[in-house]
Amino acid sequence: MNDWFALFIHYLPDFIQGAGVTLELTAVGLGLGFILGLALALLKLYGPKWLRYLAIGYIELFRGTPLLVQLFLIYYGLPSIGLTLSQSMSAYLALGLNSAAYQAEFFRGAIQAIGASQMTAGRAIGLSRWNTIRYIILPQALRLVIPAWSNEPISLLKTTAVAFLIAVQDLMAEGKRAATATYNPIGSYLAVAVVYLVLVFILNEILKYLERKTRIPGFEMESKKV
């Protein structure tokens, strides 16, 4: 136990550095996924037919294939058509494109739960379709989505570990390095697991805060009858 603790302390600066990269991957992947996912959800629900099918196709494709395959296709595959991306760029892109497919489904669900009636109410006072989406539907849907969507950042944070396989120097890579240097893989990966756990815990608290902060007064899920 003491040995393990010594190892943990010794490699902590490296782990922290790796954790920084992991958090970067999570943030960029989540951000890219958010923007693209929201666009996909809106297209799937409100877009013209061909865009609707495009969105559905995208979502099915990216949810239906392993992230690792997508990452390898981007990193090793794209250069063959003349597009060479750095390791971290490839990881950002793969995580973002993949996360978008999942986030799109969360958004779609929330938008549908807000319902056609709010669209009717918006249109009835003369708002255009897009303005109703912007001022009425999205502000409500983005609040409603938080509890379910909160799984995505947590899940993504752990998923970023695949970036290690294209040699991005993330937390996982630091763990591997410690394992090689100390001949103690169990201790090293346990230490890395602890750091992941702490990151998830912090992220979870942030998400809970966000959920509390955006709650609409007097409007809890149970009271939503209309």
Partner 1 sequence: MAKTILTVKNLTKKYGENVIFKNINLTVNEGDTIVIIGPSGTGKSTLLRCINLLTYPNEGEIWLDDKEITAKGCNEDIVRQHIGMVFQNFLLFNHLTAIDNVKLGLTKVKHMNPVEAHTKAMYELERVGLADRAKHYPGQLSGGQQQRVAIARALAMDPRIMLFDEPTSALDPELIGEVLEVMRKLALDGMTMLVVTHEMGFAREVADRIIFLEKGGIVEEGTPDDLFYRPKFERTREFLWKITELYGKKEADKK
Binding site for partner 1 (CB under 8 A): 117-118, 120-128, 131, 135-136, 139-140, 143, 216-220, 223-224, 226
Q: How far is CA 59 from the centre of its chain?
A: 14
| DSSP letter assigned to residue 84 | -
As measured in angstroms, the least distance from the Cβ of 148 to partner 1 is 18
d(CA 149, CA 131): 24
**At its nearest, how many Å lie between partner 1 and the CB of residue 224?**
8
Contacts of 131 (CB under 8 A, 6+ apart): 122
Q: Return the closest-CA partner of residue 45 out of 118, 116, 147.
A: 116
Q: Which is nearer to partner 1, 120 or 180 (CB)?
A: 120
Give the nearer residue to partner 1 in terms of CB position, either 81 or 220. Answer: 220
CA diameter of the chain: 70
Closer residue to partner 1 in complex, CB, 77/139: 139
* Closest CB to partner 1 among residues 124, 186: 124
Q: Minimum distance between the CB of residue 18 and partner 1, rounded to whole angstroms?
A: 40
Nearest-angstrom CA–CA distance, 162 and 170:
9
**Could you tell me the smallest distance in angstroms from the CB atom of residue 73 to partner 1?**
41
